[in-house]
Structure 1
Amino acid sequence: MSIVLQTFNLTRRFGGLVATNDVSLTVERGARQALIGPNGAGKTTLINLLTGVIPPSSGRIELEGEDITALPVHARAGRGLVRTFQINQLFPEMTPAEALAVAISERQRIGSSWFRALGRRGEIMDECGAWLEQCNLTDVMDRRTSVLPYGKQRLLEIALALAAKPRVLLLDEPVAGVPDGERREILDTVAALPDDVTILLIEHDMDLVFSFANRISVLVNGAVFAEGSNADIARDPRVKAVYLGEELAGSAYA
Protein backbone atom coordinates (compact mmCIF):
# COMPACT_ATOMS: atom_id res chain seq x y z
CA MET A 1 0.00 0.00 0.00
CA SER A 2 1.20 3.53 -0.76
CA ILE A 3 1.84 6.12 1.93
CA VAL A 4 -0.70 8.95 1.99
CA LEU A 5 0.36 10.89 5.12
CA GLN A 6 3.78 11.01 6.68
CA THR A 7 5.67 13.07 9.25
CA PHE A 8 9.43 13.34 9.59
CA ASN A 9 10.97 14.18 12.98
CA LEU A 10 8.05 16.45 13.81
CA THR A 11 8.68 18.52 16.93
CA ARG A 12 6.73 21.29 18.63
CA ARG A 13 8.06 23.24 21.61
CA PHE A 14 6.15 25.68 23.77
CA GLY A 15 8.98 27.41 25.57
CA GLY A 16 10.67 24.69 27.60
CA LEU A 17 7.84 22.20 27.05
CA VAL A 18 8.27 19.69 24.25
CA ALA A 19 4.69 18.76 23.25
CA THR A 20 5.67 16.55 20.32
CA ASN A 21 9.15 15.13 20.21
CA ASP A 22 10.74 13.93 16.97
CA VAL A 23 7.55 12.20 15.73
CA SER A 24 7.89 10.19 12.53
CA LEU A 25 4.52 8.71 11.64
CA THR A 26 3.36 6.87 8.52
CA VAL A 27 -0.26 6.38 7.46
CA GLU A 28 -0.94 4.14 4.46
CA ARG A 29 -3.69 4.74 1.93
CA GLY A 30 -6.98 3.25 3.06
CA ALA A 31 -5.68 2.64 6.58
CA ARG A 32 -7.78 2.40 9.69
CA GLN A 33 -5.18 3.68 12.12
CA ALA A 34 -5.64 4.81 15.74
CA LEU A 35 -3.52 7.23 17.74
CA ILE A 36 -3.75 6.62 21.47
CA GLY A 37 -1.91 7.71 24.59
CA PRO A 38 -2.45 9.04 28.10
CA ASN A 39 -3.67 12.58 28.72
CA GLY A 40 -0.93 15.06 27.91
CA ALA A 41 0.80 12.68 25.49
CA GLY A 42 0.64 15.22 22.64
CA LYS A 43 -2.16 13.71 20.54
CA THR A 44 -4.13 16.90 19.95
CA THR A 45 -0.93 18.88 19.41
CA LEU A 46 0.05 16.38 16.71
CA ILE A 47 -3.35 16.74 15.01
CA ASN A 48 -3.05 20.52 15.17
CA LEU A 49 0.36 20.23 13.53
CA LEU A 50 -0.95 17.93 10.80
CA THR A 51 -3.83 20.28 9.97
CA GLY A 52 -1.86 23.52 10.16
CA VAL A 53 -3.49 25.00 13.25
CA ILE A 54 -0.01 25.46 14.72
CA PRO A 55 3.39 25.34 12.98
CA PRO A 56 6.07 22.84 13.97
CA SER A 57 9.30 23.94 15.64
CA SER A 58 11.06 21.51 13.31
CA GLY A 59 10.31 18.57 11.06
CA ARG A 60 8.23 18.00 7.94
CA ILE A 61 4.75 16.82 6.94
CA GLU A 62 3.93 15.24 3.57
CA LEU A 63 0.52 14.51 2.06
CA GLU A 64 0.71 12.09 -0.87
CA GLY A 65 4.39 12.92 -1.24
CA GLU A 66 3.87 16.71 -1.25
CA ASP A 67 5.47 18.83 1.47
CA ILE A 68 2.58 20.65 3.18
CA THR A 69 4.48 21.83 6.28
CA ALA A 70 4.06 25.51 5.44
CA LEU A 71 0.53 25.36 4.01
CA PRO A 72 -2.35 27.08 5.88
CA VAL A 73 -5.34 25.17 7.24
CA HIS A 74 -7.66 25.86 4.29
CA ALA A 75 -5.05 24.79 1.75
CA ARG A 76 -4.54 21.45 3.51
CA ALA A 77 -8.29 20.93 3.68
CA GLY A 78 -8.51 21.71 -0.03
CA ARG A 79 -5.97 18.96 -0.68
CA GLY A 80 -8.10 16.46 1.23
CA LEU A 81 -6.74 16.58 4.80
CA VAL A 82 -9.89 17.04 6.90
CA ARG A 83 -10.60 16.76 10.62
CA THR A 84 -13.31 16.68 13.25
CA PHE A 85 -12.85 18.24 16.69
CA GLN A 86 -13.04 17.14 20.31
CA ILE A 87 -15.57 19.94 20.84
CA ASN A 88 -18.12 20.39 18.05
CA GLN A 89 -17.59 23.23 15.59
CA LEU A 90 -21.12 23.58 14.20
CA PHE A 91 -23.67 26.24 13.14
CA PRO A 92 -26.26 26.01 15.97
CA GLU A 93 -29.10 27.76 14.12
CA MET A 94 -28.79 25.70 10.94
CA THR A 95 -30.40 22.35 10.34
CA PRO A 96 -28.21 19.38 9.32
CA ALA A 97 -29.58 19.64 5.77
CA GLU A 98 -28.68 23.33 5.56
CA ALA A 99 -25.22 22.84 7.05
CA LEU A 100 -24.45 20.06 4.60
CA ALA A 101 -25.69 22.19 1.69
CA VAL A 102 -23.25 24.90 2.77
CA ALA A 103 -20.36 22.43 3.03
CA ILE A 104 -21.07 20.90 -0.39
CA SER A 105 -21.54 24.31 -2.00
CA GLU A 106 -18.24 25.56 -0.56
CA ARG A 107 -16.48 22.47 -1.86
CA GLN A 108 -17.95 23.17 -5.30
CA ARG A 109 -16.98 26.86 -4.95
CA ILE A 110 -20.54 28.12 -5.22
CA GLY A 111 -20.87 28.98 -1.55
CA SER A 112 -22.00 32.55 -2.15
CA SER A 113 -25.24 31.27 -3.68
CA TRP A 114 -25.91 28.28 -1.41
CA PHE A 115 -29.49 29.32 -0.50
CA ARG A 116 -30.44 29.32 -4.16
CA ALA A 117 -28.41 26.13 -4.68
CA LEU A 118 -30.22 24.36 -1.84
CA GLY A 119 -33.55 24.68 -3.63
CA ARG A 120 -32.49 24.54 -7.25
CA ARG A 121 -29.45 22.28 -7.58
CA GLY A 122 -30.61 18.70 -7.53
CA GLU A 123 -27.11 17.26 -7.28
CA ILE A 124 -26.52 19.13 -4.02
CA MET A 125 -29.76 17.85 -2.55
CA ASP A 126 -28.94 14.32 -3.66
CA GLU A 127 -25.54 14.47 -2.00
CA CYS A 128 -27.03 15.98 1.16
CA GLY A 129 -29.46 13.08 1.31
CA ALA A 130 -26.66 10.56 0.89
CA TRP A 131 -24.61 11.97 3.78
CA LEU A 132 -27.68 12.35 5.99
CA GLU A 133 -28.45 8.67 5.44
CA GLN A 134 -24.83 7.56 5.81
CA CYS A 135 -24.57 9.30 9.19
CA ASN A 136 -28.04 8.42 10.54
CA LEU A 137 -29.33 11.99 10.43
CA THR A 138 -32.41 11.73 8.22
CA ASP A 139 -34.71 11.73 11.25
CA VAL A 140 -33.37 15.12 12.42
CA MET A 141 -32.42 16.70 9.09
CA ASP A 142 -34.83 19.65 9.50
CA ARG A 143 -34.24 20.38 13.18
CA ARG A 144 -31.96 23.17 14.41
CA THR A 145 -28.54 21.81 15.36
CA SER A 146 -28.68 23.50 18.77
CA VAL A 147 -31.57 21.26 19.89
CA LEU A 148 -30.14 17.96 18.63
CA PRO A 149 -28.95 15.29 21.08
CA TYR A 150 -25.20 15.47 21.51
CA GLY A 151 -24.68 12.17 19.72
CA LYS A 152 -26.47 13.53 16.66
CA GLN A 153 -24.29 16.64 16.75
CA ARG A 154 -21.21 14.43 16.69
CA LEU A 155 -22.65 12.54 13.73
CA LEU A 156 -23.32 15.84 11.94
CA GLU A 157 -19.68 16.85 12.35
CA ILE A 158 -18.61 13.56 10.78
CA ALA A 159 -21.08 14.12 7.92
CA LEU A 160 -19.71 17.63 7.32
CA ALA A 161 -16.17 16.26 7.23
CA LEU A 162 -17.19 13.60 4.71
CA ALA A 163 -18.93 16.23 2.57
CA ALA A 164 -15.52 17.84 2.10
CA LYS A 165 -14.49 14.67 0.21
CA PRO A 166 -11.40 13.94 2.34
CA ARG A 167 -8.50 11.80 1.25
CA VAL A 168 -7.42 11.61 4.89
CA LEU A 169 -9.92 12.06 7.72
CA LEU A 170 -8.68 12.79 11.22
CA LEU A 171 -11.33 11.86 13.79
CA ASP A 172 -10.55 13.55 17.10
CA GLU A 173 -12.34 11.60 19.86
CA PRO A 174 -15.69 11.20 18.05
CA VAL A 175 -17.47 9.67 21.08
CA ALA A 176 -16.05 12.07 23.69
CA GLY A 177 -18.85 13.32 25.93
CA VAL A 178 -21.52 11.22 24.18
CA PRO A 179 -23.92 9.42 26.55
CA ASP A 180 -23.72 5.63 26.49
CA GLY A 181 -27.17 5.32 24.91
CA GLU A 182 -26.11 7.40 21.89
CA ARG A 183 -22.72 5.82 21.23
CA ARG A 184 -23.88 2.88 19.14
CA GLU A 185 -24.93 5.07 16.20
CA ILE A 186 -21.51 6.72 16.18
CA LEU A 187 -19.65 3.42 16.47
CA ASP A 188 -21.70 1.98 13.58
CA THR A 189 -21.20 5.11 11.46
CA VAL A 190 -17.43 5.12 11.99
CA ALA A 191 -17.26 1.41 11.18
CA ALA A 192 -19.10 2.02 7.88
CA LEU A 193 -17.01 4.96 6.66
CA PRO A 194 -16.03 4.71 2.98
CA ASP A 195 -13.11 2.36 2.26
CA ASP A 196 -11.41 4.91 0.00
CA VAL A 197 -11.03 7.39 2.88
CA THR A 198 -7.88 6.96 4.94
CA ILE A 199 -8.70 7.45 8.62
CA LEU A 200 -6.55 8.37 11.60
CA LEU A 201 -8.61 8.03 14.78
CA ILE A 202 -7.69 9.74 18.06
CA GLU A 203 -9.65 8.12 20.87
CA HIS A 204 -9.67 7.03 24.51
CA ASP A 205 -12.54 4.57 24.10
CA MET A 206 -10.74 1.25 23.78
CA ASP A 207 -13.82 -0.57 22.48
CA LEU A 208 -13.89 1.81 19.53
CA VAL A 209 -10.13 1.70 19.01
CA PHE A 210 -9.81 -2.09 18.97
CA SER A 211 -12.96 -2.70 16.95
CA PHE A 212 -12.01 -0.10 14.32
CA ALA A 213 -8.24 0.07 13.90
CA ASN A 214 -5.97 -2.35 12.09
CA ARG A 215 -2.90 -0.39 13.20
CA ILE A 216 -2.27 1.57 16.40
CA SER A 217 0.34 4.19 17.24
CA VAL A 218 0.94 5.02 20.91
CA LEU A 219 2.20 8.45 21.98
CA VAL A 220 3.81 8.96 25.38
CA ASN A 221 5.40 12.25 26.46
CA GLY A 222 5.13 13.58 22.93
CA ALA A 223 7.03 10.72 21.29
CA VAL A 224 6.02 7.55 19.46
CA PHE A 225 6.26 4.88 22.15
CA ALA A 226 4.96 1.84 20.24
CA GLU A 227 3.33 0.93 16.93
CA GLY A 228 1.79 -2.21 15.52
CA SER A 229 -1.39 -4.16 14.92
CA ASN A 230 -4.11 -3.95 17.53
CA ALA A 231 -3.19 -7.46 18.69
CA ASP A 232 0.48 -6.44 19.07
CA ILE A 233 -0.44 -3.34 21.06
CA ALA A 234 -2.89 -5.25 23.27
CA ARG A 235 -0.17 -7.74 24.18
CA ASP A 236 2.61 -5.18 24.68
CA PRO A 237 3.36 -5.07 28.44
CA ARG A 238 4.98 -1.64 28.11
CA VAL A 239 1.78 -0.17 26.66
CA LYS A 240 -0.31 -1.75 29.39
CA ALA A 241 2.02 -0.31 32.01
CA VAL A 242 2.02 3.28 30.75
CA TYR A 243 -1.52 3.60 29.39
CA LEU A 244 -3.93 0.72 28.98
CA GLY A 245 -3.32 -0.79 32.37
CA GLU A 246 -6.21 -2.49 34.06
CA GLU A 247 -8.67 -1.29 31.42
CA LEU A 248 -7.11 -3.74 28.99
CA ALA A 249 -5.64 -6.31 31.32
CA GLY A 250 -8.06 -9.17 31.69
CA SER A 251 -10.25 -7.97 28.83
CA ALA A 252 -11.00 -9.72 25.54
CA TYR A 253 -8.06 -7.88 23.98
CA ALA A 254 -5.41 -9.08 26.42
Structure 2
Amino acid sequence: MSAAPTVLSARGLVMRFGGITATNNVTLDLKKGARHALIGPNGAGKTTLINLLTGVLEPTEGSITLEGLDITRLAPHQRVHRGMVRTFQINQLFDTLTPLQTLALTVSQHRRLGTRWWPSLGSNQAVAERCEVLLEQFHLTDVMNQPTRVLAYGKRRLLEIAIALACEPRVLLLDEPVAGVPAGEREELLQTVAALPADVSVLLIEHDMDLVFSFANRMTVLVNGTVLTEGDPEQIANDPQVKAVYLGHGEEAHG
Protein backbone atom coordinates (compact mmCIF):
# COMPACT_ATOMS: atom_id res chain seq x y z
CA MET A 1 0.00 0.00 0.00
CA SER A 2 2.89 2.38 0.63
CA ALA A 3 3.49 2.84 -3.13
CA ALA A 4 -0.06 4.07 -3.72
CA PRO A 5 -0.62 7.85 -3.76
CA THR A 6 -2.40 9.49 -0.84
CA VAL A 7 -5.86 10.76 -1.79
CA LEU A 8 -7.00 12.09 1.60
CA SER A 9 -4.64 13.41 4.24
CA ALA A 10 -5.31 14.82 7.69
CA ARG A 11 -2.45 16.55 9.49
CA GLY A 12 -2.42 17.43 13.19
CA LEU A 13 -6.20 17.69 13.51
CA VAL A 14 -7.39 19.12 16.82
CA MET A 15 -11.02 19.69 17.73
CA ARG A 16 -11.86 21.38 21.01
CA PHE A 17 -15.34 21.89 22.41
CA GLY A 18 -14.81 24.33 25.26
CA GLY A 19 -12.42 22.59 27.62
CA ILE A 20 -12.82 19.17 25.99
CA THR A 21 -10.38 17.98 23.32
CA ALA A 22 -12.37 15.53 21.18
CA THR A 23 -9.68 15.12 18.51
CA ASN A 24 -6.09 15.39 19.63
CA ASN A 25 -3.39 15.88 16.97
CA VAL A 26 -4.74 13.21 14.60
CA THR A 27 -2.77 12.47 11.44
CA LEU A 28 -4.22 10.03 8.90
CA ASP A 29 -3.42 9.13 5.29
CA LEU A 30 -5.91 7.36 3.04
CA LYS A 31 -4.20 5.75 0.05
CA LYS A 32 -5.71 5.41 -3.42
CA GLY A 33 -7.90 2.31 -3.58
CA ALA A 34 -7.51 1.69 0.16
CA ARG A 35 -9.84 -0.30 2.34
CA HIS A 36 -9.00 1.53 5.55
CA ALA A 37 -10.89 1.01 8.82
CA LEU A 38 -11.10 3.50 11.67
CA ILE A 39 -11.85 1.69 14.93
CA GLY A 40 -11.93 2.47 18.62
CA PRO A 41 -14.17 2.21 21.66
CA ASN A 42 -17.23 4.39 22.16
CA GLY A 43 -16.17 7.96 22.80
CA ALA A 44 -12.86 7.50 20.95
CA GLY A 45 -13.63 10.45 18.66
CA LYS A 46 -14.37 8.56 15.44
CA THR A 47 -17.51 10.53 14.56
CA THR A 48 -15.84 13.83 15.38
CA LEU A 49 -12.95 12.94 13.06
CA ILE A 50 -15.35 12.04 10.24
CA ASN A 51 -17.24 15.30 10.82
CA LEU A 52 -13.94 17.15 10.45
CA LEU A 53 -13.01 15.27 7.26
CA THR A 54 -16.40 15.94 5.68
CA GLY A 55 -16.69 19.61 6.71
CA VAL A 56 -19.48 19.32 9.25
CA LEU A 57 -16.99 20.66 11.80
CA GLU A 58 -14.09 23.06 11.27
CA PRO A 59 -10.94 22.00 13.12
CA THR A 60 -9.45 24.10 15.91
CA GLU A 61 -6.02 23.23 14.49
CA GLY A 62 -4.63 21.18 11.63
CA SER A 63 -5.31 20.71 7.92
CA ILE A 64 -7.06 18.35 5.49
CA THR A 65 -6.10 17.81 1.86
CA LEU A 66 -8.02 15.90 -0.81
CA GLU A 67 -5.96 14.88 -3.83
CA GLY A 68 -3.41 17.54 -2.93
CA LEU A 69 -5.95 20.36 -2.51
CA ASP A 70 -6.42 22.00 0.89
CA ILE A 71 -10.10 21.48 1.78
CA THR A 72 -9.87 22.39 5.49
CA ARG A 73 -12.35 25.26 5.14
CA LEU A 74 -14.55 23.91 2.35
CA ALA A 75 -18.27 23.35 2.99
CA PRO A 76 -19.57 19.75 2.94
CA HIS A 77 -21.30 20.08 -0.46
CA GLN A 78 -18.08 21.45 -1.97
CA ARG A 79 -16.23 18.37 -0.74
CA VAL A 80 -18.87 16.14 -2.33
CA HIS A 81 -18.32 17.86 -5.69
CA ARG A 82 -14.59 17.27 -5.27
CA GLY A 83 -15.15 13.56 -4.79
CA MET A 84 -15.60 12.91 -1.05
CA VAL A 85 -18.92 11.32 -0.06
CA ARG A 86 -20.16 10.02 3.27
CA THR A 87 -22.86 7.63 4.38
CA PHE A 88 -24.42 8.17 7.79
CA GLN A 89 -24.64 5.96 10.84
CA ILE A 90 -28.32 6.90 11.12
CA ASN A 91 -30.31 6.35 7.94
CA GLN A 92 -31.22 9.57 6.12
CA LEU A 93 -33.58 8.88 3.19
CA PHE A 94 -36.72 10.29 1.59
CA ASP A 95 -39.41 7.96 2.91
CA THR A 96 -41.97 8.76 0.21
CA LEU A 97 -39.67 8.29 -2.79
CA THR A 98 -38.84 4.91 -4.29
CA PRO A 99 -35.22 3.74 -4.69
CA LEU A 100 -35.47 4.45 -8.43
CA GLN A 101 -36.73 8.00 -7.83
CA THR A 102 -34.15 8.61 -5.10
CA LEU A 103 -31.25 7.50 -7.30
CA ALA A 104 -32.56 9.44 -10.32
CA LEU A 105 -32.74 12.56 -8.17
CA THR A 106 -29.21 11.99 -6.85
CA VAL A 107 -27.70 11.30 -10.29
CA SER A 108 -29.47 14.33 -11.77
CA GLN A 109 -28.22 16.62 -9.00
CA HIS A 110 -24.69 15.27 -9.25
CA ARG A 111 -24.65 15.85 -13.01
CA ARG A 112 -26.18 19.28 -12.43
CA LEU A 113 -29.30 18.53 -14.43
CA GLY A 114 -31.58 20.02 -11.78
CA THR A 115 -33.40 18.63 -8.77
CA ARG A 116 -36.41 17.05 -10.49
CA TRP A 117 -36.01 13.35 -11.11
CA TRP A 118 -38.98 12.76 -13.41
CA PRO A 119 -37.85 14.61 -16.58
CA SER A 120 -34.33 13.26 -16.18
CA LEU A 121 -35.54 9.71 -15.79
CA GLY A 122 -37.94 10.02 -18.70
CA SER A 123 -35.76 11.87 -21.19
CA ASN A 124 -32.14 11.45 -20.16
CA GLN A 125 -30.89 8.05 -21.20
CA ALA A 126 -27.61 8.42 -19.28
CA VAL A 127 -29.48 9.01 -15.99
CA ALA A 128 -31.77 6.04 -16.59
CA GLU A 129 -28.83 3.77 -17.43
CA ARG A 130 -26.85 4.87 -14.39
CA CYS A 131 -29.84 4.19 -12.13
CA GLU A 132 -30.28 0.74 -13.65
CA VAL A 133 -26.64 -0.13 -12.96
CA LEU A 134 -26.84 1.10 -9.36
CA LEU A 135 -30.10 -0.72 -8.65
CA GLU A 136 -28.57 -3.97 -9.89
CA GLN A 137 -25.22 -3.46 -8.15
CA PHE A 138 -26.91 -2.84 -4.79
CA HIS A 139 -29.57 -5.58 -5.05
CA LEU A 140 -32.42 -3.08 -5.22
CA THR A 141 -34.02 -3.94 -8.57
CA ASP A 142 -36.74 -6.04 -6.93
CA VAL A 143 -37.81 -3.14 -4.67
CA MET A 144 -37.02 -0.20 -6.96
CA ASN A 145 -40.66 0.96 -7.18
CA GLN A 146 -41.56 0.55 -3.51
CA PRO A 147 -41.66 3.59 -1.19
CA THR A 148 -38.45 3.68 0.84
CA ARG A 149 -40.40 3.69 4.10
CA VAL A 150 -41.58 0.09 3.53
CA LEU A 151 -38.15 -1.34 2.71
CA ALA A 152 -36.37 -3.77 5.03
CA TYR A 153 -33.66 -1.99 7.01
CA GLY A 154 -30.87 -3.83 5.19
CA LYS A 155 -32.25 -2.59 1.87
CA ARG A 156 -32.36 0.96 3.23
CA ARG A 157 -28.68 0.75 4.10
CA LEU A 158 -27.93 -0.61 0.61
CA LEU A 159 -29.85 2.33 -0.88
CA GLU A 160 -27.85 4.75 1.22
CA ILE A 161 -24.56 3.36 -0.11
CA ALA A 162 -25.99 3.38 -3.64
CA ILE A 163 -26.80 7.09 -3.21
CA ALA A 164 -23.19 7.69 -2.16
CA LEU A 165 -21.88 5.82 -5.22
CA ALA A 166 -24.28 7.78 -7.45
CA CYS A 167 -22.19 10.84 -6.56
CA GLU A 168 -19.20 9.11 -8.20
CA PRO A 169 -16.88 9.48 -5.22
CA ARG A 170 -13.16 8.94 -5.27
CA VAL A 171 -13.21 8.85 -1.47
CA LEU A 172 -16.09 7.11 0.34
CA LEU A 173 -16.57 7.36 4.10
CA LEU A 174 -18.75 4.50 5.35
CA ASP A 175 -20.15 5.29 8.79
CA GLU A 176 -21.20 2.01 10.46
CA PRO A 177 -22.94 0.51 7.41
CA VAL A 178 -24.27 -2.56 9.26
CA ALA A 179 -25.45 -0.70 12.39
CA GLY A 180 -28.94 -1.87 13.28
CA VAL A 181 -29.18 -4.32 10.37
CA PRO A 182 -30.72 -7.65 11.45
CA ALA A 183 -28.51 -10.74 11.12
CA GLY A 184 -30.63 -12.15 8.27
CA GLU A 185 -30.05 -9.04 6.11
CA ARG A 186 -26.35 -8.54 6.79
CA GLU A 187 -24.80 -10.93 4.27
CA GLU A 188 -26.11 -9.05 1.23
CA LEU A 189 -24.80 -5.81 2.70
CA LEU A 190 -21.39 -7.29 3.54
CA GLN A 191 -21.02 -8.69 0.03
CA THR A 192 -21.95 -5.35 -1.50
CA VAL A 193 -19.45 -3.46 0.64
CA ALA A 194 -16.75 -6.00 -0.31
CA ALA A 195 -17.56 -5.46 -4.00
CA LEU A 196 -17.26 -1.66 -4.01
CA PRO A 197 -15.26 -0.35 -7.01
CA ALA A 198 -11.52 -0.85 -6.59
CA ASP A 199 -10.72 2.73 -7.63
CA VAL A 200 -12.83 4.17 -4.80
CA SER A 201 -10.78 4.73 -1.65
CA VAL A 202 -12.86 3.69 1.37
CA LEU A 203 -12.57 4.77 5.00
CA LEU A 204 -14.80 2.53 7.12
CA ILE A 205 -15.99 3.38 10.64
CA GLU A 206 -17.39 0.25 12.21
CA HIS A 207 -17.85 -1.56 15.53
CA ASP A 208 -18.41 -4.95 13.91
CA MET A 209 -14.98 -6.55 14.08
CA ASP A 210 -15.89 -9.38 11.72
CA LEU A 211 -16.66 -6.82 9.01
CA VAL A 212 -13.59 -4.74 9.85
CA PHE A 213 -11.15 -7.64 9.66
CA SER A 214 -12.70 -9.11 6.50
CA PHE A 215 -12.78 -5.75 4.71
CA ALA A 216 -9.81 -3.64 5.74
CA ASN A 217 -6.23 -3.83 4.51
CA ARG A 218 -5.22 -0.94 6.77
CA MET A 219 -6.50 0.02 10.21
CA THR A 220 -6.19 3.03 12.47
CA VAL A 221 -7.09 2.69 16.15
CA LEU A 222 -8.43 5.80 17.87
CA VAL A 223 -8.59 6.09 21.67
CA ASN A 224 -9.59 9.24 23.57
CA GLY A 225 -9.32 11.31 20.39
CA THR A 226 -5.74 10.20 19.77
CA VAL A 227 -4.28 7.71 17.29
CA LEU A 228 -3.14 4.75 19.39
CA THR A 229 -1.62 2.80 16.51
CA GLU A 230 -1.97 1.99 12.83
CA GLY A 231 -1.13 -1.09 10.79
CA ASP A 232 -2.43 -3.98 8.73
CA PRO A 233 -5.13 -6.24 10.23
CA GLU A 234 -2.66 -8.83 11.49
CA GLN A 235 -0.56 -6.20 13.27
CA ILE A 236 -3.66 -4.69 14.87
CA ALA A 237 -5.09 -8.05 15.94
CA ASN A 238 -1.83 -8.95 17.68
CA ASP A 239 -1.08 -5.55 19.21
CA PRO A 240 -1.09 -5.81 23.04
CA GLN A 241 -2.23 -2.18 23.46
CA VAL A 242 -5.19 -2.69 21.13
CA LYS A 243 -6.20 -5.90 22.88
CA ALA A 244 -6.02 -4.16 26.23
CA VAL A 245 -8.14 -1.13 25.34
CA TYR A 246 -10.49 -2.41 22.70
CA LEU A 247 -10.50 -5.87 21.20
CA GLY A 248 -10.72 -7.78 24.46
CA HIS A 249 -9.83 -11.42 24.74
CA GLY A 250 -12.32 -12.82 22.26
CA GLU A 251 -10.73 -11.43 19.13
CA GLU A 252 -7.52 -13.47 18.93
CA ALA A 253 -9.06 -15.55 16.17
CA HIS A 254 -8.65 -12.61 13.83
CA GLY A 255 -4.89 -12.79 14.18
Report the TM-score range of the alignment, normalised by the length of the smaller protein: over 0.9
Distance in 2 (alpha carbons) for counterparts of 1:107 and 1:18: 36
Superposed displacement of residue 140, structure 1: 0.6
Superposed displacement of residue 115, structure 1: 1.4
Q: Which amino acid aligns with 2:37?
A: A
Residue 241 (structure 1) aligns with: 244
Q: Which amino acid aligns with 2:133?
A: A
Provide the secondary structure at the position in 2 that maps to 1:246.
coil
Aligned ranges 1:71-150 → 2 under 5 Å: 71-150=74-153
Superposed displacement of residue 210, structure 1: 0.5
Asked if 1:33 is matched to 2:36, the reply is: yes
Q: Which amino acid aligns with 1:170?
A: L
For this pair of structures, how many residues does the alignment match? 252
Percent identity reads 62
Distance in 2 (alpha carbons) for counterparts of 1:170 and 1:135: 17
Provide the secondary structure at the position in 1 that maps to 2:33.
coil
Distance in 1 (alpha carbons) for counterparts of 2:250 and 2:131: 39
**Stretches (4+) displaced over 6 A:** none
Provide the secondary structure at the position in 2 that maps to 1:47.
helix
Q: Which amino acid aligns with 1:108?
A: R
Residue 222 (structure 2) aligns with: 219
Residue 47 (structure 2) aligns with: 44
Provide the secondary structure at the position in 1 that maps to 2:249.
helix
Superposed displacement of residue 246, structure 1: 2.4
Distance in 2 (alpha carbons) for counterparts of 1:129 and 1:44: 32
Superposed displacement of residue 113, structure 1: 4.1
Q: What root-mean-square deviation, in Å, do the aligned CA atoms of Structure 1 and Structure 2 show?
A: 0.8
Asked if 1:19 is matched to 2:22, the reply is: yes
Residue 172 (structure 1) aligns with: 175
> Which of 3, 6, 23 is matched with 2:9 structurally?
6
Asked if 1:202 is matched to 2:205, the reply is: yes
Unaligned 5+ runs, structure 1:
none
Distance in 2 (alpha carbons) for counterparts of 1:114 and 1:134: 20
Provide the secondary structure at the position in 1 that maps to 2:248.
helix
Distance in 2 (alpha carbons) for counterparts of 1:183 and 1:240: 26
Superposed displacement of residue 111, structure 1: 1.9
Distance in 1 (alpha carbons) for counterparts of 2:201 and 2:122: 32
Distance in 1 (alpha carbons) for counterparts of 2:236 and 2:116: 49
Provide the secondary structure at the position in 2 that maps to 1:146.
helix
**Cα deviation digits, residues 20-49 of structure 1 (max 9, x gap):** 100010111110100000000000000000
Distance in 2 (alpha carbons) for counterparts of 1:124 and 1:7: 34
Q: Which moved more, 1:116-125 or 1:98-107?
A: 116-125
Distance in 2 (alpha carbons) for counterparts of 1:65 and 1:216: 22
Provide the secondary structure at the position in 2 that maps to 1:199.
strand
> Which of 150, 155, 176 is matched with 2:158 structurally?
155
Superposed displacement of residue 120, structure 1: 1.4
Superposed displacement of residue 148, structure 1: 0.3
Distance in 1 (alpha carbons) for counterparts of 2:104 and 2:138: 15
Distance in 1 (alpha carbons) for counterparts of 2:84 and 2:128: 24
**Normalised by the size of structure 2, how large is the TM-score?**
0.97
Residue 63 (structure 1) aligns with: 66
Provide the secondary structure at the position in 2 that maps to 1:25.
strand
Distance in 2 (alpha carbons) for counterparts of 1:109 and 1:2: 29
Q: Which amino acid aligns with 2:213?
A: F
Distance in 1 (alpha carbons) for counterparts of 2:175 and 2:220: 14
